[in-house]
Structure 1
Amino acid sequence: MNPAEAAPTPPSGRRSQGATATTSVYDIYEKCRIEEGTHTIRLLTLLPGTKNKPISCVLSSVSLDQAHSYTALSYVWGDTKDPQPNIWIDGSPLNITRNLHTALSYIRDAKTEKRIWVDAVCINQDNDREKRDQIWQMWNIYKNAKDVVAFVGDDKNSSDLVIDYLELQDVDRGSVSSEDLKESVNSLLNRPYWTRVWIIQELAANMNVRFQCGRKSVAFLALQNFFQRWQSENYIPCGGPFWAARDTLRLAAKLRNPEQDKHDIFGVMLAATRHESSLSVDKVYGLLGISSMIAISIFYATSPDTVIAQKDTNVLPGFLIFITT
């Protein structure tokens, strides 16, 4: 069945893979075009609504140089093969992954609009040329945002108890049992978010990052400091999920230091060996923004699992990176 035919009546009011194509996808992006070679981006305005109501949005284009009042979303796409729910953009349905739908449901406010940048919707995922151009701007998109919301998932299995704990004064933290806290930490760490290669630059680019679990959130530095204390006070099995989260925060903190020179792409890839991507090409794409090799040009090779990244021949003739499975 066509997703558009299966969709409910649109509410009133004003995404390698991402938003799955429907009969109206072309029209959605034609109404809000991005000119090639410009610093134009799209922003998504989430209209007010409660969690169980349809998600209604407005899509607009703006020069990145003039866009400062938006939140950049960092999240895990999830399984694109899952049955996918709709959001409504200017009255037209667009399929998104279940993970993104969950994130938008929690981030949306009941009373006020929220202006966000989210890759799966703000980039036309059916247009490879546009994806390439927008990937080049990814670092600046996150850097230019007023803040970054790192959505690690919903609050199941009391995973948000860690955030409640960090909000308490030291004198009150004894009221939280060590077993409950340990269970919450394990639940929070066992999320695919921490192993996603794209999040490294998303967390490093902006100094105002908050991790959100369900509706609760905590600042980057507070969570990083907590993980450091947790490591010193608890036995952590080798190879467990804790290390992926710790390494992610440690690498992002190092790269977001204004006095830290950008790394070459090989150094960054080596530091991110624990991190994963749904496509092997994203091992390069997801790290280009934090590489000093800003003159690289990228394009898909004959296989979707192979990428060739070629540095500007004026800088280093014939330099190629081949990433393949």
Structure 2
Amino acid sequence: MAFNHEGQTLNSNQLRLLRPIFNANKRVLAFQISQILRDSAPLYTAVSYTWGEGQPSEVILLNGKPFHVSVTLWSCLYYLCLSAQTSRWTHLWVDAICINQNSIPEKSAQVRFMDETYRKAACVSVWLGLAPGAEQYRSTTSEPIKTFDVEPFEWMDHMSDLVNRPYWTRFWVIQEFLLGKDVDIYCSGSQVNWIDFKDFVEYETNSDVFGDADRLRAGNAIADSCAALPFVLGRHPDKHPEVFRPLHELLVEYHRSKAKDPRDRVFALLGLIPHEERALLQRFFPDYSLSEEHMAIIALAHVLCFDFMNGSERPVTVDSDELFRGLGIEQSVLRRRLLKSAKYIDYIGCDGIPMFLAQMEQVDFNENIGMDRDLEAEYSTTSSTTRHTMVMLIVTLFGIGAWIYWRFR
């Protein structure tokens, strides 16, 4: 009988962890999986990797029962288990295994605490994949996949490849890499700390990463040729671990990143947003019952609200390419419709998804009867003093509540 999570309710103050079970046959990956209170969790590593495409085809054992994982994850777990006995952690946290992916309520609840999961880990283990030239295949029998590495493997010799691996292009790994206390990076059986990796990046780009941070952030040929550069810059000692930035800035900076689920383009950034701003967003996010379009409307309404409050000089229009690409929206017609809806809803006064959906029904009704107001003009000409006062009051209240929560939880 295969392992499944059914009947195992996971509360918000809990997480599941994996403890490797060592045996003579290292090709059989076995783990004990258990639910543990977050505040009393043993030392664990939070694994950061790209899910990849295709259905799970490889088998591991959870509490003695088979469980299917992807080829990518199998290879990652194989090499992490090889290093486990000499590591500073005893357990692993892996999202594809430790969160019931078939339960929307559990998935939404655990994603809300994803930043905490990575912050409290003894370290984050980044899996870049197999070494260049390594072969990987499945036998025609029921045996697990096998990997053959090219030896010796030298990081410096392969940096042009490693700094542009698919890992650096995904939304979820942004906060996973930035929020960890420490980060170890794996390629096959070789491991380096992120500090050493930074030195390798500097050698590859012929730059002083932290010394040239502002110039590199501005975007140039160096930045364009090194997908890992924004991640290394994000751990600048003057900024880390307080890496909080507004949603608008994050969407623009990482607009080239990809997500299998478009909703994760925002959900995956929540842990990097300032507490008072995040408090407003968490009235709605993360919730995987929301449609992709509704997620985009709420995100746009949020950006409009904060840009207005902060007196931003960059208006959000259908031509705001980097912002809309950050949300995964390319078509001008769709951009116009979503932006119009975002300006229509009462974002500050909306106290959750039910009220938001009710407002969206009114938007749909107005469109069906042909009402076409110039909402952009209406938004900008409404009494700015009244609107600014209202926004500041609400944000201040949310900020106080967020501070109390983070201070005394």
Q: TM-score, normalising length from structure 2? A: 0.59
Q: 1:147 aligns with which of 112, 117, 123?
A: 123
- 2:176 aligns to what? 202
* Secondary structure of residue in 2 paired with 1:156: coil
> After the TM superposition, which residues 148-167 of structure 1 pair with which residues of structure 2 at under 5 Å, given as runs?
148-157=124-133, 161-163=153-155, 165=156
> Which whole-Å CA distance do the structure 2 matches of 1:111 and 1:301 have between them?
37
> Which whole-Å CA distance do the structure 2 matches of 1:160 and 1:294 have between them?
46
Q: 1:257 aligns with which of 237, 240, 257?
A: 240
CA positional deviation for 1:134: 0.6
- 2:336 aligns to what? none
- 1:287 aligns to what? 269
8 Å CA contact 1:205–1:256 kept in 2: the answer is: no
Unmatched runs of 5 consecutive residues or more in structure 2? 134-149, 208-219, 303-344, 357-409
- 1:106 aligns to what? 79
- 2:251 aligns to what? 269
> Which whole-Å CA distance do the structure 2 matches of 1:133 and 1:266 have between them?
24
CA positional deviation for 1:146: 0.7
Q: TM-score, normalising length from structure 1? A: 0.73
* Secondary structure of residue in 2 paired with 1:218: strand
Between 1:301-310 and 1:134-143, the stretch displaced more is: 301-310
* Secondary structure of residue in 1 paired with 2:227: helix
> After the TM superposition, which residues 22-33 of structure 1 pair with which residues of structure 2 at under 5 Å, given as runs?
24-25=2-3, 28-30=4-6, 32-33=8-9
> Which whole-Å CA distance do the structure 2 matches of 1:86 and 1:133 have between them?
27
Cα 1:254–1:271 shift into 2, 3 Å: farther
CA positional deviation for 1:58: 0.9
Cα 1:160–1:154 shift into 2, 3 Å: farther
> Which whole-Å CA distance do the structure 1 matches of 2:237 and 2:351 have between them?
27
* Secondary structure of residue in 1 paired with 2:47: strand
* Secondary structure of residue in 1 paired with 2:261: coil
2:91 paired with 1:91: no
8 Å CA contact 1:159–1:213 kept in 2: the answer is: no
CA positional deviation for 1:252: 4.4
> Which whole-Å CA distance do the structure 2 matches of 1:185 and 1:227 have between them?
7
> Which whole-Å CA distance do the structure 1 matches of 2:5 and 2:253 have between them?
37
Cα 1:240–1:72 shift into 2, 3 Å: same
- 2:348 aligns to what? 316
CA positional deviation for 1:212: 0.7
CA positional deviation for 1:148: 1.0
Cα 1:159–1:274 shift into 2, 3 Å: farther
Cα offsets for 1:238-271 (capped at 9, x unmatched)? 499742111222134479614x461122211211
Q: 1:73 aligns with which of 10, 24, 47?
A: 47
State the identity %. Answer: 25
Q: Which amino acid aligns with 1:317?
A: G
* Secondary structure of residue in 1 paired with 2:100: coil
* Secondary structure of residue in 2 paired with 1:294: helix
Structure with the greater relative contact order (CA < 8 A, sep ≥ 6): 1 or 2? Answer: 1
> Which whole-Å CA distance do the structure 2 matches of 1:300 and 1:111 have between them?
34
CA positional deviation for 1:133: 0.7
Larger proportion of strand: 1
Q: Which amino acid aligns with 1:101?
A: W
- 1:137 aligns to what? 113
2:288 paired with 1:300: yes
8 Å CA contact 1:255–1:290 kept in 2: the answer is: no
Cα 1:95–1:255 shift into 2, 3 Å: farther
CA positional deviation for 1:94: 1.2
- 2:189 aligns to what? 215
Larger radius of gyration: 2
* Secondary structure of residue in 1 paired with 2:168: helix
* Secondary structure of residue in 2 paired with 1:300: coil
Aligned residues: 272
CA positional deviation for 1:304: 5.7
> Which whole-Å CA distance do the structure 1 matches of 2:236 and 2:25 have between them?
33
- 2:337 aligns to what? none
CA positional deviation for 1:142: 0.6
Cα offsets for 1:271-322 (capped at 9, x unmatched)? 11221111211111111111123222322356467636577x9x93249999
Q: 2:91 aligns with which of 115, 125, 132?
A: 115
> Which whole-Å CA distance do the structure 2 matches of 1:294 and 1:271 have between them?
18
Q: Which amino acid aligns with 1:200?
A: I
2:10 paired with 1:44: no
Q: Which amino acid aligns with 1:57?
A: F
Q: Which amino acid aligns with 1:94?
A: F
Q: Which amino acid aligns with 1:273?
A: H
Unmatched runs of 5 consecutive residues or more in structure 1? 5-23, 166-180
8 Å CA contact 1:198–1:287 kept in 2: the answer is: yes
CA RMSD after TM alignment: 3.4
CA positional deviation for 1:197: 1.2
